[in-house]
Amino acid sequence: MLAVLAGGALAVALLQPSSPAAGDDPLPYQDPTLPTAQRVSDLLGRMTLAEKIGQMTQAERIDVDADPSLITTNALGSVLSGGGSVPASNTPEAWADMVDRYQRAALDTRLGIPLIYGVDSVHGHGNLLGATVFPHNIGLGATRDPKLVEKIGHITAEETRASGPQWAFAPCVCVARDDRWGRTYESYGETPRLVKSMETSIDGLQGKPGQLDHADRVLATAKHFAGDGLTSYDESAAGTGAYPIDQGIDRVTRKEFDKLALSPYVPAIKKHHVGSVMPSFSSTDFNGGSTADAVKMHGNKQLITGWLKNQQKFKGFVITDWRGIRQLPGDYRAQVKAAVLAGIDMYMEPIQAPNNPTGWDEFIPTLTDLVGDGEVPMARIDDAVSRILKAKFDLGLFEHPLTDRTHIGDIGSKAHRAVARRAVAESQVLLRNKQRTLPLKAKDTVYVAGSNADNIGNQAGGWTLTWQGGSTNVVPGQTILDGIEKAAKGDVVYSVDASKRVPRKAVGVVVVGETPYAEGFGDVGGPQWAYDPGDAGQPRQKQTMELSKADKQAVRTVCARTVSCTVLVVSGRPMIIPPALLTQTDALVASWLPGSEGGGVADVLYGRSPFIGKLPVTWPRTVAQEPINVGDKQYNPLYRYGFGLSTR
């Protein structure tokens, strides 16, 4: 027995690849002078199945923050911050300390494979208080300025990596076709051509090939693969608490799908070398059959392995969306099997107690059993792990696993905010300008009203401090009113509901628009549950694409009593301007979601910068016109795609 045991133990020892002892010569995978492919192959050959599956597993920070040793014992390859999941004190140093604490736990594993930390830096590092908050993508699409968008990506990467995370779940290369979708603002626009032109953001985030290990670069993610913006609206779901359009079904032909959904991924891979791709929650149904025929993207082997990996030669790795595999048919074992065999490499399986009973702690044994039972071949596991390891070597994490804080002092710097302010100015789209109302004269008395004139939470939108964003989410920066007060030389009167007396000869500025939301919560007819801590149990405002009664009243009041009247729409998408209201306004501007630097709006209002913005999406007359896009046969919008008056 002893001999057998000893023999057995010996056999296990032989089976178990050797791990490096301190002071030994570096093993090949530890030698940065060797080609990455050789380091990957050497390391892979040393890994046990448990270590391989650990690399494919991503936890949420809440799951491990109290006990980072869970990272060590489960050999976890990645941790993320979901929207709003931030360290107790939301400062750059606390973020970096947090990521480094988790990293040390990863380095304590047998082979010391470093962790990769992901976060939604979708308009700057929006979760981090004090980060520069840029306009959301729809505003960037309005700038038609690829170089500026690259610069914004670079600043975003610098502020993200300096605070710890080495991976941004951005950019969304979605083509938004129905503005009733709550994620319209995450899209650069309604045409693949415009979206592709804005993929310079990937270059900003990652730098050129070979620069990923720099302290001011992060791995980027092209998302959500594919067709997240093509889903059709389900009227029966509106008002029921479900998402009427987000995560829905693309009822398009394969030809339309190729053009509108897949085509943005070709330059993202071949020209911009994006390092990761995230599948969409949505489904495809090319035959116009019943809903049952729809195939979830998270289980679509033909598109993930067939098209993305084999045809497009994508060499990065595929990360699921948030518990995305649990939307696949069948029990959990069937879901894991389908997703792994479809070609997904890493699994965002947060537990986030008390939200979910299980997550990655169920994923690991389930996949282990599938491999043990021969239902998932080791070759598929090795493909996934090799892709993940390659990204970690490219990021320089084996040589520099802890946060390089060189740029931590530049987070939210004046220089960064100046770039954001320029982006705000370039994103403003002038839709109407009767008798050259704009630019305003600095000496004029100005009367400012409207729900979004002095609310930095509303002007920043979702993915800011919390997942959903919030009207009470305050970040350092300038509201639009702040900007007007600094630009005007005459008196400025502010009254959110226009109840204050309007001075004689005053010009009027009314800032209307939406309250923040993210994902399906922003769907027209979407749920209004209270979600974020800041909601304090209050249900979220219903999103309708219509102006609120208060905003409409403020426009009527101010436009009736001022010498001229300018309306600014601060929103994640076009809003309906009733004809009677439109005739009352002299100037109309689409301001989108400008972020922290509201002063950029004042720059164009007062002529310090010209209006150059062009509509990235069609502006409808009514919600009933949705979906309405350039190229439609019946195309009679209020303002067409690409429209924008100039004051150059």
Cα angle value 311/312/314 (rounded, 5°):
120
Separation of alpha carbons 47 and 57, rounded Å? 15
| Residues 468-507, mask of contacts with ligand GLC (x by CB under 6 A) | ----------------------------------------
State how far the Cα of 600 lies from the Cα of 618, in Å rounded to an integer: 23
State yes or no: residue 521 binds ligand GLC (CB under 6 A).
Answer: no
H or E element at residue 59: strand 57-60
Residues 320, 278: contact at Cβ < 8 Å? Answer: yes
**Of the two residues 61 and 614, which places its CB atom closer to ligand GLC in the complex?**
61
Of residues 421-450, which lie at the interface with ligand GLC (CB under 6 A)?
A: none
The residue sitting closest to ligand GLC, measured at its beta carbon, is: 169
| Minimum distance, C-beta of residue 387 to ligand GLC, in the bound complex (Å) | 18
Q: Which of 110, 205, 136, 204 is nearest to 165 (CA)?
A: 205
Cα(108)–Cα(19) distance, rounded to whole angstroms?
A: 12
Instruction: Note if 93 is an active site residue.
Output: no
Kindly name the residue from 246, 321, 426, 603 that is annotated as catalytic: 321
Q: How far is the CB of 120 from ligand GLC (least distance, A)?
A: 5
Ramachandran quadrant class, 333 (left: phi over 0; alpha: psi -120 to 50; beta: rest)? alpha
Q: Return d(Cα 538, Cα 525) in angstroms, integer.
A: 17
Helix axes 378-394, 36-46, angle to 10 degrees: 130
Cβ proximity to ligand GLC, 169 vs 447, nearer residue: 169
**Can residue 169 be called a binding residue for ligand GLC (CB under 6 A)?**
yes
What is the nearest approach in angstroms of ligand GLC to the Cβ of residue 324? 8
SS3 content of the chain, % helix, strand, coil (to 5): 40, 10, 50
- Residues 81, 223: Cα–Cα separation, whole Å: 17
Provide, rounded to whole angstroms, the least separation between the CB of residue 223 and ligand GLC: 6
54, 68, 77, 83: which one binds ligand GLC (CB under 6 A) = 83
Q: Which two tokens stand for residue 369?
A: 């059993």
DSSP element (H, E) containing 559: helix 549-561
- Tell me if residue 519 is catalytic: yes
Residues 320-339 interacting with ligand GLC (rule: CB under 6 A): 321-322
Of the residues 63, 519, 551, 603, which is catalytic?
Answer: 519
Among 54, 77, 82, 534, binds ligand GLC (CB under 6 A): 82
Distance CA 33, CA 95 (A): 31
Q: Compare residues 447 and 521 and give the one whose CB is closer to ligand GLC.
A: 521
Question: Cβ closer to ligand GLC: 120 or 603?
Answer: 120
**Of residues 115-134, which lie at the interface with ligand GLC (CB under 6 A)?**
120
Which two structure tokens, joined as six digits, stand for 561?
């009593």
**Cβ 400 to ligand GLC shortest distance, Å:** 25
Does residue 523 interact with ligand GLC by CB under 6 A?
no
E strands within 434-513?
A: 446-449, 492-494, 507-513
Return the number of the residue (247 or 478) whose C-beta is nearest ligand GLC: 247
* 87 belongs to the binding site for ligand GLC (CB under 6 A): no
* Size of site (CB under 6 A) for ligand GLC: 8
Closer CB to ligand GLC, 127 or 191, in the complex: 127
Give the relative orientation of helices 146-161 and 414-427 as an angle to the nearest 10 degrees. Answer: 140
- CB-neighbour burial class of residue 563 (10 A; exposed 0-12, middle 13-18, buried 19+): middle
How many angstroms separate the CA atoms of 119 and 403, rounded? 15
In angstroms, what is the minimal distance from the CB of 181 to ligand GLC? 12
Structure tokens belonging to residue 468: 């959903």
Binding mask 221-250 for ligand GLC (x = CB under 6 A): --x---------------------------
What's the rounded Cα separation, in Å, for the pair 579 and 563? 20
Q: Least distance to ligand GLC from the beta carbon of 83, Å? A: 5
Report if residue 185 touches ligand GLC, rule: CB under 6 A: no
Nearer to ligand GLC, 169 or 265 (CB): 169
Report DSSP letters for 356-418, one per residue. -S-SHHHHHHHHHHHHHTTSS-HHHHHHHHHHHHHHHHHTTTTT--S---TTGGGTT-HHHHH
Q: Name the minimum Å distance from CB 186 to ligand GLC.
A: 8
Nearer to ligand GLC, 82 or 527 (CB): 82
Q: How far is the CB of 503 from ligand GLC (least distance, A)?
A: 47
d(CA 298, CA 321) in angstroms, rounded, equals 8
Q: Which is nearer to ligand GLC, 107 or 205 (CB)?
A: 205
Q: Within 288-317, which residues bind ligand GLC (CB under 6 A)?
A: none
Residues belonging to the active site:
321, 519
Residues of this chain that interact with ligand GLC (CB under 6 A) are: 82-83, 120, 169, 223, 321-322, 519
